[in-house]
Amino acid sequence: MSHLLTRSFVVTFLLSTSPLLWGEWTRPSAPFQSTAISQNENSLWICGPDASIASSADGGEHWDVRNSKAGAGTLLSIRWNNSKVGAAGGAGGLVLLTTDGGVHWKEIPTSSKDAVLDVSFADEDHGIALLTSSVIYTADAGKHWSTVLPSTSAEQTKFRFVLALAALDKQHAAVLVKEGPAQYYDSRLVTTSDAGATWRTNEIEHTTLDNLLVVRELFWLVGTEVIDRANRGGHAVPVTFHSTDGVTWDRGSKPLIDTNNACRPEGCLMWNGAFFNPFVANGAIYTFPPAKGLSTRWAATDKRICFISSDLECNEVAEVKTLPEHGAPSPDLAASALQPTTPDSSGKCIRCDYPRILVNEHFEGKARVQLTVMARSDGTVSSVDVVSSPRPEIGEEVAAAARTWIFYPATKDGLAVPTKRTPDLTVTVIKPR
């Protein structure tokens, strides 16, 4: 970076430059239960049940429904490759694509009933999708799909977890894979430079990579790098890389701190209350009021930030010049294990992440948390109650994650029905240092 940024937190500066910074989080009236959110051209986009997609040009206050089809399945992800090309994926192998900025959406065939957890299209033909059991690639708008992962390659076999994927252009696409679900596990990139004809495994030595995305027609990676390795093994520092092909990488702007939590094209969460955009010259710092239950499903415009917990929640965001005081940790992205699909998926979990490690000053050790989870007929969660927990705040943290879970719709006599589940979960709790 061209100038040093002080770590001091000047309260009077923040209050004078952003008077709305400490406003209350609001829950805008969305037209449907939101399951994912993204940003395009300073508008927010959400998706949800019945293949529903909506956009908001005023930071989430008002929404225009752009797509909906009763019984078409619940969308689980939505993302934009550029201002015109966007894709959404969901239950039952559902993939929707737009090439006109969201005015029209068309269904792309996948010939699979697996849930599509994430999908990225570079144009109207070339796309890559993460399913519950595999990663697949198409070069002809879904007429044919080839399997990228799992692979018979000995080098790729041990990397069974997928963290992110992206299609850059007609020739290039990439998948960020890891050995295990947590951030500290070893990572590799699986890339193609010939429209999916061949795939190779790449390693950027001495790095732990946690985000892969497309920003301004470039691949970007965000993670940490071990430097000064000759001195007692070195230490990790934040790092970004960008590339035109997914093979050769150049260093980008250095993040201020370890900003590898839930990156979006608009930036990466630093902690609950701040995010940093390393994808612009010299970077940019943004602050927002700390949120209860902040999730990895977030997006921001130049004035507003919204995230999805049990509901859509929004507040003001402000660009500041000084790095604020470190706040509570932000949530980490979770990697998806590629698992075979069972013949009967009715009522089973599609996406049920929860924190495996929590910090609590009053409890340490293994914590057993029992919940009652009520799911709607479309598979989204309607309510979560804590049945038992060693501490109320521990139970509430786990419950907050459960409110974002998604299930395959359960059926009775051929019709989707609401369901009740009673998960019994165990998390590791440590005390703050």
3-state SS, 250-317, equals EECCCCCCCCCEEEECCEEEEECCEEEECCCCCCEEEECCCCCCCCCCEEECCCEEEEECCCEEEEEC
116 in Cβ contact with 127 (< 8 Å): no
Instruction: Give domain 346-430's CATH number out of 3.40.50.720, 3.30.420.40, 3.30.2420.10, 3.30.1370.60.
Output: 3.30.2420.10
What are residue 16's phi and psi, to 5 degrees? -80, -25
- Residues 374-396: tens digit of each pLDDT: 998 888 898 999 999 999 999 99
155 phi, psi to nearest 5 deg:
-70, -30
Q: Which of 14-28, 284-298, 404-418 bottoms out in mean pLDDT, i.e. has the lowest? A: 14-28
pLDDT digits (tens, 9 = 90+) for 206-241: 888 989 999 999 999 998 888 877 787 778 888 999
pLDDT of res. 335: 84
Mean pLDDT of 26-43: 94
CB 50 within 8 A of CB 31: no
pLDDT at 173 over 60: yes
What is the per-residue pLDDT for 253? 74
* Phi and psi, residue 297, nearest 5°: -90, 90
pLDDT digits (tens, 9 = 90+) for 53-106: 999 999 999 999 999 999 888 999 999 999 999 999 999 899 999 999 999 999
Q: What is the pLDDT of residue 5?
A: 31
Nearest of 288, 299, 313 to residue 28 by alpha carbon: 313
What percent of the chain stands above pLDDT 90?
61
Q: Which residues of 330-350 are buried (b: 16+ CB within 10 A; e: fewer)?
A: bbbbbbbebeeeeeebebebb
pLDDT range class, residue 344, cuts 50, 70, 90: low
Q: Residue 259: its pLDDT value, please?
A: 66
CATH 2.130.10.10 maps onto the chain at 11-320
Indicate the pTM of the whole model: 0.86
> Smallest Cα–Cα separation from 329: which of 426, 260, 423?
260
- Residue 40 pLDDT grade (very low, low, confident, very high; cuts 50, 70, 90): very high
User: Residue 343's pLDDT is what?
Assistant: 58
Q: Where are the beta strands (DSSP E) in 122-266?
A: 127-131, 135-138, 146-149, 161-167, 173-178, 187-192, 200-202, 207-215, 218-227, 235-243, 250-251, 261-264
- Mean pLDDT across 387-411: 90
- Fold classified for 11-320: Methylamine Dehydrogenase; Chain H (2.130.10)
**Cis, peptide link before residue 409, omega less than 30° from 0:** no
By DSSP bridging, strand 424-430 and strand 357-359 are parallel
Query: Between these two residues, 236 and 427, which has the higher pLDDT value?
Result: 427
Residue 13 has pLDDT above 60, yes or no: no
Task: Give ranges for CATH 3.30.2420.10 in the chain.
Answer: 346-430
Q: What is the pLDDT of residue 314?
A: 96
pLDDT of residue 110 exceeding 50, the answer is yes
Higher pLDDT, 95 or 187: 95
H-helix or E-strand spanning residue 11: helix 11-17
